[in-house]
Amino acid sequence: MSVTGREAGPLAPSEAPGVPPGATAPPGAPGRILVPYGQGRIRGLGADDLGAHGAAMDRLVSLGLPVVPGLTVPAGAAASLAESDTAEAAVALVEQLSGRRIADLARPLLLRLSASAPTGIAGLPPDLACLGVTPAGADGLCAVIGSEDALYDVWAATVRVIAEYALDVPGALLDDALLDTPGPRARVKVLLSLVAEHGSRPFPDDPAQQVALAARALLARWDSPRARRSRRAQRLPADLAVALHVQALRIGPADHSGYGTAVSRDPETGRLCPQGSFFRGVRRSAPPPHTGEPLDRLAGGTALLEHCLLTLERHLGAPVSVDFELRDDEISLLSASAQLRPPLRASVCLAADLARDGALGREEAVRRITPAQVQELLHPRLRLTGGEELLVKGLPAAPGAASGAVVLSSERALELAADGTPVVLVAAETTPADVPGMLASAAVLTGSGGIASHAAVVARGAGKPAVCGAEGLRVDLATGTVRFGERVVREGAPVSLDGRTGAVYAGRLDVGVAGPPPELSTVLAWADGVRRLGVRANADTAAEVETALALGAEGVGLCRTEHQFLGERLPLIRRVLLAADPAARAEALVALERAQYEDFRALLAAVGGRPVTVRLLDAPLHEFLPAPGEALDAADALRADALREANPMLGLRGVRLALLHERLYPAQAEALFAAWADVAATGVRPELEVMIPLVSLPEELAAAAEYVRDAAAAVAARTGVEVPYRLGTMIETPRAALLAGELAEHAEFFSFGTNDLTQLTYGFSRDDVERQVLAPYQERGFLTASPFARLDPHGVGALVALAAERAREVRPGIKLGVCGEHGGDPESIAFCDRLGLDYVSCSAHRVPVARMAAAHSALDERDDTSGGTR
């Protein structure tokens, strides 16, 4: 059926689609069923009539692009090409279209016959080329080409198919003969002899008769039991009709002629730059390996090819691939289509190019790039070949990929990294003392913990790939080995890690270099113009702030002050916790305040005039206490043992610790306000927000707020500077969410700490439950994703929604944000956007993902509001 819904029946002579401009229709009926490329749509014929190839060639002609001369016999009339009068008309018409004649060695012409269905499908018959060649004329054609193998090889393949499917020569007889015949010329001679001896008639020299036999062979092959089974497997009608296409195969010297394939964009850069291969001689369906040449060797260069590809990209709106023919230094297209799986960089660059040229709206360009694709561009990936040895699979805790030597301690990581050796830090679990080694490593691998564990959070913040919760991983420091099940790997042996999939492989694998094209920044800037939701970063140091701002963060949504005591500064907080008496604690707090002042001053200067939310100390005690045997002396060991808790995540941390050590938060706050005053003296005035963590009681927040206000007053009295700031709290406990209205009486902003809120709502230990519970739950369908990776909208999300509603009732202008790692997950971001939160905050290297996700959420909401129209 045609696109108008009528049968493609005979047309009146004046309507004959077989008549090109300036050409005359061959006499009689055959000309009326021959449709030159480019004239099908004029006559109301679509892919059902012309086949996918005929319809595609029509489009190319309509775009003004050069195509190989040819014609289509529509599906309903394809069998007529097996009749001599139609075949003669087809040959005459292709000669007229190409301006060449078969057997004219001055401008030689042969023919190619192919079939196509209404859509692209598997199992179509092979193309039959070199129709029109004869034993008497073959050598003359080879002389023109400059080589004989290409011509004879293609000719032999064509004779083989026609012999079996049109001339009744048994296929087994043909195959047996070809097994013992090495060269292409000899194969043609053997095949012609077999046809003469066993066929229903000798192989003809007349080109029209060859075309008729070729049509009969293709249709017989299409109607074979094997082809019908293939169509059934694809759920296609067994009697699906195909159109036939007769193309000019123009012969010329190999140094000025050939064929090739090209894609429009460089896969590494994404820029418009034809990439592909060019083959000299007669086109073959499977060119000999290693015979292709780069496109820059095309006679006449790639300018015309680039023009064709650019035109097609604008028309199809996608990176494209083409098959082309070169004859007499002129390019003609054989086929063209959008790439099915274009390289990601190519898609990003094209979206930006189309929008800049006005061929695509900026919002549509944003829609084309998904948050997942942004993440893929930002991080390196392993280049797998299929032969890798998988050591273990854990939880994908931080995206990216790396290879390096196994190290079993932070100290060893620092030693080797200082010499320029890439290392992978492997540990049962990590602690704050391991942070310097983690930052020096190329990747981190732990046997315990989940995607919200210490190792995962630090790795994501640093942009390091990490795999956590690797089941079966056992570290033996005494022997310097790691056991992965039965496999033992020694320290120093190379491994490769994929933080996107959680896979760890033996050996050093090739790692694809990360680095998005500059066009991604352009599209992200357009996304910023679309989104409503703000995007901040979790950043604890000036260096992290600079990284976050470079990636598009609008400020800092969470500065974890406890992270400033990691590594070499760990003794500062330990001295406060393990002080033997008030005097020792006061001395330790002075040292802590001095160190924090330096950190805050650098942090605030890096933030500039943007918002920055500083969370006062919140860390489980076990992260800061010395491990057994690591205390400075016996007295410190006894005090550390007295502070150890059975469940430190629910113990003395956050505001609870500050209320029992009453000078802790004032010391931090005074350091912060003094640093702000000094930075403000340089003309930089950050929008400061001070946050109290792990509040469950309104009284806790009121008491901590008093500490902060007193600290601000003390700094004002000392410096004469009244520091402007907002005071708020984290909503991390279900009770805080339920009492949000009462807390809002004391807080000017809320930041939802969804890592802890998820842990406490589910009763899941975020360090242990991922491997032991969540994976089996997902396998059984209880959960669709880890609630630590994707915000649970029904439980945790309901608490967030309730808290937001109650807080706004008390304080309508209260600022609301999310600072858990859910702030970098696209589905969680969409949920926060729907609730009307003001911002999300995530690790710096997830900021571009969050920006794109927030834009997609805004566009989706607009579509929903407008009923799905754009």
Active-site amino acid positions: 454, 819
Q: How far apart are CA 660 and CA 284, in angstroms?
A: 83
**Which helix (H) or strand (E) element contains residue 815?**
strand 815-818
Q: How far apart are CA 787 and CA 796, in angstroms?
A: 9
DSSP letter (8 states) at residue 832: H
Angle at 353 between CA 347 and CA 354, to 5 degrees: 90
Report the DSSP pairing between strands 320-327 and 258-265: antiparallel
- DSSP states of 164-208 as a string? HHTS---HHHHHHHHHT--SHHHHHHHHHHHHHHHSSSPPP--HH
The amino acid that residue 69 corresponds to is: P
Burial class (CB in 10 A: 0-12, 13-18, 19+), 210: buried
Structure tokens at 779: 């396998």
- Between the alpha carbon of residue 6 and those of residues 43, 251, 554, 601, the distances in Å are 12, 39, 60, 78
Partnered with residue 64 across adjacent β-strands are none
List the one residue out of 649, 651, 709, 667 whose CA is nearest residue 576.
Answer: 667
List the one residue out of 233, 52, 227, 237 whose CA is nearest residue 124.
Answer: 227
Cα torsion 426, 432, 434, 440: sign: positive
- Using DSSP's 3-state secondary structure scheme, residue 442 falls into coil
* Phi/psi at 662 (5° precision): -65, -15
Cα 293 to chain center, whole Å? 30
Q: Where does residue 567 fall: left (phi above 0), alpha (psi -120 to 50 degrees), or beta otherwise?
A: left
Long-range contacts, stretch 181-189, CB < 8 angstroms, 24+ apart: 183/152, 184/148, 184/149, 184/152, 184/153, 184/155, 184/156, 185/148, 185/152, 187/152, 187/156, 188/135, 188/138, 188/152, 188/155, 188/156, 188/159
State the number of CA atoms in the 13 A half-sphere of 776 facing the CB.
4
Nearby residues of 225 by Cβ (< 8 Å), 6 or more positions away: none
